[in-house]
Structure 1
Amino acid sequence: MVGTARRHVLGLAVAAPLSLVLAGCGGSPAPSGVGKDGVVTISVNGMPAKTQPADRKDFEELVKEFEASHPKIRIDAREGQMDPKTFAAKLAGGQLEDVFYVYFTDPAGLIQRRQAADITPYLKDVPYLQDVRPELQDVFKDADGRIYGLPTGNYSLGLVYNRALFTKAGLDPDRPPATWDEVRTAAGRISALGDGTVGYADYSKNNQGGWHLTSWIYSMGGEVATRGDDGRWKAAFNSAAGHKALQALHDMRWTDNSMGTRQLLEIGDVQKMMGSGKLGMYMAGPDNIPTIVKQFEREYEEFGLAALPGTATLGGGDGFMFNPKASPEKIKAGLQWVQWKYLNPDREEKNAKKWAGQGIPIGLPQPNLFRGEAQAKNDAIHAKYANVPQRNFKPFVDRSPQVAVKIEPPNAQQLYTVLDGVMQSVLTKKDANLDQLLATAEKKADAILATVR
C-alpha cells in the first residue's frame, strides 16, 4: 500500500529506533534471551525517530511503563520498519529484530519463505486475542491456519468529501453518494459550481493510481489477482469489473468534465485541492482528514466521510511478526509487548484522554481492530473523548459493514506500476481503448505474478 496508510493514528504507533540498556545485574543474556537473573531481553522496532521528538518521547515512556509492569522483560527498541530489500540479509546476518513491524502486504511472502516464526503454540494465554477481528488475523495465517503475527492497525478506503460544496451544489451532506452513479451525478453538480471547482479527483502516478484502481475494481465486484488450484497467481482485472471501473473514470473525466483538466495527480496534489476548498470528493482513508486539517488550516467540521460505493473496498494495515530464530522465551515476551501496547482495550481510556489533551484526533472511525464487547468499549471511550465531529463520519460507519474489505494483491507495488499506466491513459486520452489497455496490462501483470512463490 502507498501513501495514506503510512501514518500515526489512534492505537497505531509508527515505527522508530532507540536502545534501552538492559537494567539488571545478570550479565549478558544467553542465546535464549534470558539472563542469569531471569530477565528476557527482546529487540523490537517500531520506535519513532529523533525527528519525531514528541512521538519518540511517548514511545520511550511507554517502554518504561511496560518494563515496570513486566519486570522480567526488557525492551531493546530500535528505529525502522521491515524493508523487503534488506530483510533477507538482516535475517541471515543475525541483525533482524526479535519482533518486527510489517504491512499487510508482507506476511504471505514471509510465511511462504519460512522467514517468520510460527507463534501458534504461544497464543493460548494472550489477552483479547479472541476479540481481534478475524479478517485481520487471517492476514497472518498460512493455509493450515497457523499464525505468524498479530495485526495492530487497519484502514479501508472510502470517500472524503467537502460538506460545504455539497450544500452549495444542492446535495445533502448527511446523505453522501452510496453508488458510483450517485458519485458521478454529485461530481457533475459540484463541478458546475465553476470557479475551478472539481467534483471528483483521483491519483494516477507513483503507484498510487494502480493502488486506487485496485479499489475501484474491488468495488465493482472484481479481483486484481486470483490464485488457481495449482497455487499459481494470475491477473484478474481484465474483466467486466475492470472495464466498468475504467468506463466510469473515463465518463467522469471526458463526458462530464467533472474531474478537471489537470491529471497525473498523486496524494499530495489531491489533498491540496481538498485543502483549498475546490474539490468535492476523492477516494481516501479516514486518516486523510487530520492531514488536510493540519496542513491547510481547515476545520474538521468541513469534511465528511462515506463508505466506498459498491460491494468491496481495498483495505490494509500493519502488525508485528517474529524472528524465525527467536527462542520461545523471546516470542512469549514479544507477544506480551505487542498485546500490551497495541491490542489492549484496558489501556484505551488512558490513551484516549492523553491523546485528546495533546490535540491528536480522537473519534475517527479507524483503526477498529476488535469486534464485539471489546470494540464497543473502545467506541464508547472514543465518543467520550472525541475532539472531531463523529456525526460527519456516520455515513462511513453505518454502511461499512455492507462493504467487504479486501487486502492488496501479491507483488502489489509492481502491479500498481502497471496499473498506473492504465489510469494515466484513461485520464489523459479521450480515445483510450479500454479493452486494449486491460489486455496489455494483463500480460505484464501475469509476468510479475509468475514470480510469486
Structure 2
Amino acid sequence: MTRSRLRRAVGFLLVAGVGLSLTACGGGSDEPSDGKITLTINGLPPATEAATHQRFLDNVAEFERLNPDIKVKPVEGKMDPKTFSAKLAGGQLEDVFYVYFTDPQSLIAKRQVADISKYVSEFPVVQQVRPDIMKVFSGPDGKVYGLPYKNYSLGLLYNRTLFTKAGLDPNNPPKTWADVRTAAQKIAALGNGTVGYGDYSKSNTGGWHFTAELYSLGGDVAVKEGDTWKAAFNNAQGKQVLQQLKDMRWTDNSMGSRQLLEWADLLQMMGSGKLGMYVATADNLQTIVNQYKGNFADYGLGPIPEGKGTLAGGEGYMFNAKASPEKIRAGLKWLTFWFTSPDRFEAENKWMAETKQPVGLPEPQIFTGEAAAKQAAADKKYANVPQENYAPFAAAASSIPIKLEPPNAQQVYAVLDVPMQKVLTDRNANIDALLADAEKQVNSILATVK
C-alpha cells in the first residue's frame, strides 16, 4: 500500500519550482568548469514544511563544506513508474532518486538502474545494513543497486489502558490470533461502546490488511511461477484469516457493528480510547496523538501475531543507469553522510526532539551491529515517547521475515476488499466462494504484470 495511506508524509514529497534545468540531470555531461561533481538528487521537502525543508538545505550545506569537490542540487519529483523510462531515455532522470521498497526489483530486472556493487565496499557502513533489507536493493545475483533509508513493518497496536481494565497484561500482547480473539472478547466486555479488535474493509485498506494477516500465517497473496505471477491466497491460510474475522464479528461480537472502515477510522477509534487492538505500523502512534488527541502512554506495540511473516516496506535511493563512477561515488558519499549514517543519529534525534517530533519509536531500524547500537543509544538519550511500551515489537522484529506487497498491489487490494467486507457485514458470507471469485480476478490482474 502506498505510504501516503500508511503514515504521515515524512518530508519526501518534493517541492515544485526548484531552479534547475532538466538537462542538468543524469549522465555526467553537466560538470562545471571548476572540476566539481554536480550531483542531482531528489528529496527536498516542500517549503510549506519549513522545518524539514530547512533541515535538508542545512545538511546539503554541511555536506558540501566537508566535500568541496561535490555540488548537490536537489530537484523536485520522485520515482514515478509512468514517466521513469522516458526520463531515463531523455537524460532527465536524477543521478540518485527516491524509490519505495516495491520499486527496485522491477527496475533491476529492466536494467534501468546502475550496479553500484564495486563501490559500496568503499563505504563500510553499508555492511551494517540488515541483510533482509539489503535484499530489496539487490539483484538475484547479489549485485547491489541502491541503499535503504527507512523501513516499516506491521505489528499489533493496542490500548494498554484497556488491556489493564480488561485484566490483560499490557506488557504481554497477544502472540497468536487465538490470543487476539480471547483478548478482544475481554476488552469488548468492558461495554460502553468499546471494541475489542478493529479491521479495515474499504478503499483498498481491507485487501492490504488481508495481505498482512495472511503473511503473518506464512502465506502469500501471489507467487511467481517461472515468468508468471499467480494468486496464492485461496487456501487454508486465506480461509483462516477470513474465518477468524467472521467469528470475532458474529460469534463473539468483539468487533462492533460499525464496519466498512478505512484508514483514518481505526486511528480515530484508538485515539478516542474505544478500540483495543488493530494491525498497524509504528508511525500510526504519532498520527493518533497529533490528529486524534491520543496519549503516547496509552499505547503499546507488539509483533504481528503468529510471526511467520510481516508486511513491510520503506524508502530508499537508487542510481541512474547512466551515472558515471564519479557520480556513483558522490551519491554514496551523500547517502552515507545523512540518510544511511549512524554518525548522525544523535544530531538528528536532537533536532527532532527540539522540533517536537517523536524520538524513540521502534522503527525505522535498518541497521545491525555497532550502527544499531549507536541508534539505540541516541534514541534512548533523546526519547520523548515511552520506548518500553514498544519493547515486545522491537524484541521480535529481527526474527520475523519481512515480505513486500504483491505486484499491482492497489488493484489486488481492491479485489480483496470484497471478501473482507462480506465477512464483516454478512453473517452468512460464504468464504470459499469469496476466495474463489477473488482468485479469478487477481489472476487476471497479475496476468498484466511484466
TM range (shorter): over 0.9
Q: Secondary structure at the match of 1:305?
A: strand
Q: Secondary structure at the match of 2:115?
A: coil
Q: Does structure 1 conserve the Cα–Cα contact (< 8 Å) formed by 2:200 and 2:263?
A: yes
List alignment gaps of at least 5 residues for structure 2: none
Q: Does structure 2 conserve the Cα–Cα contact (< 8 Å) formed by 1:32 and 1:330?
A: no
| Structure 1 CA distance for aligned equivalents of residues 77 and 205 of structure 2 | 23
Alpha-carbon displacement from aligned partner over 1:292-331 (angstroms, at most 9, x marks no partner):
1111232211111111111211111110111212222222
| Corresponding residue for residue 280 of structure 2 | 284
Decide which of 412, 416, 432 is 2:413's aligned counterpart: 416
| Corresponding residue for residue 14 of structure 2 | 16
Decide which of 216, 221, 227 is 2:218's aligned counterpart: 221
Amino acid at match of 1:167: T
Moved more, 364-373 or 349-358: 349-358
Q: Does structure 1 conserve the Cα–Cα contact (< 8 Å) formed by 2:87 and 2:93?
A: yes
| Corresponding residue for residue 130 of structure 2 | 133
Amino acid at match of 2:85: A
Counterparts in 2 of 1:28-427, with a 5 A limit? 31-228=28-225, 230-310=226-306, 311-427=308-424
Amino acid at match of 2:417: D
Q: Does structure 2 conserve the Cα–Cα contact (< 8 Å) formed by 1:226 and 1:236?
A: yes
Q: Secondary structure at the match of 2:108?
A: helix
Amino acid at match of 1:394: A
| Structure 1 CA distance for aligned equivalents of residues 150 and 89 of structure 2 | 28
Q: 1:205 to 1:30 in 2, by over 3 A?
A: closer
Q: Does structure 2 conserve the Cα–Cα contact (< 8 Å) formed by 1:345 and 1:377?
A: yes
Q: CA deviation at 1:78?
A: 1.9
Q: Does structure 2 conserve the Cα–Cα contact (< 8 Å) formed by 1:43 and 1:75?
A: yes
Decide which of 441, 446, 450 is 1:444's aligned counterpart: 441
| Structure 2 CA distance for aligned equivalents of residues 335 and 402 of structure 1 | 29
Q: Does structure 2 conserve the Cα–Cα contact (< 8 Å) formed by 1:212 and 1:283?
A: yes
Percent identity between matched residues is 55
Amino acid at match of 2:263: I
Amino acid at match of 1:213: F
Alpha-carbon displacement from aligned partner over 1:1-58 (angstroms, at most 9, x marks no partner):
234545456xxx5242474789xxxx99994443222211111111111221111111
| Structure 1 CA distance for aligned equivalents of residues 26 and 361 of structure 2 | 43
| Structure 2 CA distance for aligned equivalents of residues 166 and 88 of structure 1 | 51
Q: Does structure 1 conserve the Cα–Cα contact (< 8 Å) formed by 2:107 and 2:113?
A: yes
Moved more, 274-283 or 45-54: 45-54
Q: 1:376 to 1:369 in 2, by over 3 A?
A: same
Q: CA deviation at 1:182?
A: 0.9
Q: CA deviation at 1:275?
A: 0.8
Q: Does structure 2 conserve the Cα–Cα contact (< 8 Å) formed by 1:5 and 1:317?
A: no
| Structure 2 CA distance for aligned equivalents of residues 371 and 20 of structure 1 | 39
Q: Secondary structure at the match of 1:128?
A: helix
Q: CA RMSD for the aligned pairs? A: 2.0
Amino acid at match of 1:279: L
Q: Secondary structure at the match of 2:178?
A: helix
Q: 1:268 to 1:103 in 2, by over 3 A?
A: same
Q: 1:16 to 1:28 in 2, by over 3 A?
A: closer
Q: Secondary structure at the match of 2:170?
A: coil
Alpha-carbon displacement from aligned partner over 1:391-431 (angstroms, at most 9, x marks no partner):
11111112333322211122222211211122112212211
Alpha-carbon displacement from aligned partner over 1:77-129 (angstroms, at most 9, x marks no partner):
12332222222332233322111111111111111222222222222202300
Aligned length: 445
Q: 1:107 to 1:88 in 2, by over 3 A?
A: same
| Structure 2 CA distance for aligned equivalents of residues 178 and 28 of structure 1 | 50
Alpha-carbon displacement from aligned partner over 1:231-271 (angstroms, at most 9, x marks no partner):
32211111111111111111111111111111111111111
Q: 1:346 to 1:249 in 2, by over 3 A?
A: same
Q: Secondary structure at the match of 1:234?
A: strand
TM-score where L is the length of structure 1: 0.94
Q: CA deviation at 1:385?
A: 1.3
Q: Does structure 2 conserve the Cα–Cα contact (< 8 Å) formed by 1:32 and 1:326?
A: no
| Structure 1 CA distance for aligned equivalents of residues 398 and 25 of structure 2 | 51
Q: CA deviation at 1:166?
A: 1.0
Moved more, 395-404 or 278-287: 395-404
Moved more, 329-338 or 149-158: 329-338
Q: CA deviation at 1:148?
A: 1.3
List alignment gaps of at least 5 residues for structure 1: none
